[in-house]
Amino acid sequence: MTDTSIIAATNLGHAYSSIVALHGVDFALPAGRTGLVGANGAGKTTLIKILLGILRPTVGSANVLGFDATKQFLQVRSRIGYMPEGDCLPEDITASEFLIQAAGLAGLPSTAARQRASDVLTLVGLEEERFRRLGGYSTGMKQRAKLAQAIVHDPELVLLDEPTAGLDPEGREEMLELISRLGGFGINVLVSSHVLGDIERTCDWVLMLDGGRVLRSGPLSHLVDADMVAVEVVGDTTALIDHLAAAGANVDSSGAHVYVSSFDTDPFNLVRDALAATNTGIWSMGPKATTLEDVFLEGSGE
């Protein structure tokens, strides 16, 4: 674990009998908002359960906020919040009562728990509904109540497991806005999701898992901001590709499409010069936006 990382894993592995969910992964995540992405079965939930101290790693260790997640899980849990993917709301009590209970469970005295419950319900937009029983809440309201219980005790870190699951577009927007604001409150966030667009919008670091292994871990800007130009060529692409490669560019092609990137020079200038030199005609040319999905598919070999 480095000085600036809030979560770190060293050779962290877990197996359910013969099924290996995590293959000795290593990573260090900095403070801020981190997206934990991967397909179903990638090991996201297993990792979250290890960080919470619910599961013991088969090998290796995990460190959260400076504490060993397995041996010091009570200290870890005193400092973090968790929003599970599934239901976690009792239907027969009001949101206010539930949040007071959730704050009490995190160790807050009752007066402070009442105050925090009221403040946080206002923060997530449930102030008007706080005395309504949770069983009568819509899916969107339930997701916000789940987020509220995760942050009611003002944790240093909150783990959000699929926070936008089941939400309609408007509810999704609201949830993403709330998650984006958490960093401003001094709360570090680890968001687990398989909706890569959500991660791109809310996070500044990405930990990508695939089949229980780390596919990528790094700043989002480094992963998705590859400075690439896409060119659709009229006719044969061979001369253009050869010229670009000779000029030191990274070139990829698919049919009439040629993708060019360069670490040294502006790729647009390289393409312009190559087109002129090879006398190649084009249908179109423009920047190619690399999404997290591109990175994931490339990394997972799909």
Partner 1 sequence: MSDRGVVFDLGYTPYEGERRGRRGALLTTYRDGLNRVFGIRRRARKKILPWILIVLAILPAVVFVGFAFLLSTFAPDAQSPFGSHAEYFSITGATVLLFVALAGPELLIPDRRSGVLAVYSSRPLRPDDYVGMRAASLLTVIAGFMLIPQVLMYVGFAALSADGFFKGLGTNAAEIPKILAATAIYALAYAPLALLISTIASRKAAATGIFLGVMLIGTALAAGLVQATSIPGHKYAALFALGEHPDHVRDWIFSRVGSSDLVVNGAGIDPWMSLVTILAVATVSTVVVVTRYRRLM
Count the alpha carbons within 13 Å of 5 in the hemisphere toward its beta carbon: 16
Shortest reach from residue 197's CB to partner 1, in Å:
20
Query: In the complex, what is the shortest distance from the CB of residue 151 to partner 1, in angstroms, rounded to a whole number?
Result: 9
Name which of 93 and 226 has its Cβ closer to partner 1: 93
Q: Tokens 């005295």 appear where?
A: 109
Residue number with CB closer to partner 1 (110 or 221): 110
Nearer to partner 1 among residue 38 and residue 171 (C-beta): 171
Which one-letter DSSP state was computed for residue 16?
E
Residue 115 or 284 having the CB closest to partner 1: 115
Q: What span, in angstroms and rounded, lies between the C-alpha atoms of 108 and 118? A: 14
DSSP state of 183: G
C-beta of residue 96 within 8 angstroms of C-beta of residue 128: no
Closer to partner 1 by CB, 142 or 216: give it.
142
Task: Read off the amino acid at residue 195.
Answer: V
CB of 133 to partner 1, least distance (A): 8
Q: How far is the CB of 201 from partner 1 (least distance, A)?
A: 16
What 3-state DSSP class applies to 284? strand
Q: Which residues are 8's β-sheet partners?
A: 28, 63
> What's the closest the beta carbon of residue 135 comes to partner 1, in angstroms?
9
134-137, long-range: CB < 8 A, 24+ apart: 134/89, 134/90, 134/91, 134/92, 134/93, 134/94, 134/95, 134/98, 135/91, 135/92, 137/89, 137/95
| Length of the chain measured in residues | 302
Least Å distance between CB 132 and partner 1?
8
**Sites of contact with partner 1 (CB under 8 A):** 52, 54, 74-75, 77-78, 80-82, 84, 86-94, 97, 101-102, 104-109, 112, 116, 119, 122-129, 137-138, 140-141, 144, 149-150, 153-154, 159, 170, 174, 177-178, 181, 184-186
Closest distance of CB 245 from partner 1, Å: 51
Q: Specify the 3-state DSSP secondary structure of 197.
A: helix
The full 3-state SS of 43-104, as one line of letters, equals CHHHHHHHHHCCCCCCEEEEEECCEECCCCHHHHHHHEEEECCCCCCCCCCEHHHHHHHHHH
Closest CB to partner 1 among residues 129, 210: 129
- Please, is 28 exposed, middle or buried when counting C-beta atoms within 10 Å of its C-beta (0-12, 13-18, 19+)? middle
Kindly tell me which of 128 and 264 has the beta carbon lying closer to partner 1: 128
Q: Which one, 189 or 244, has the nearer CB to partner 1?
A: 189
CB 298 to partner 1: min, Å: 34
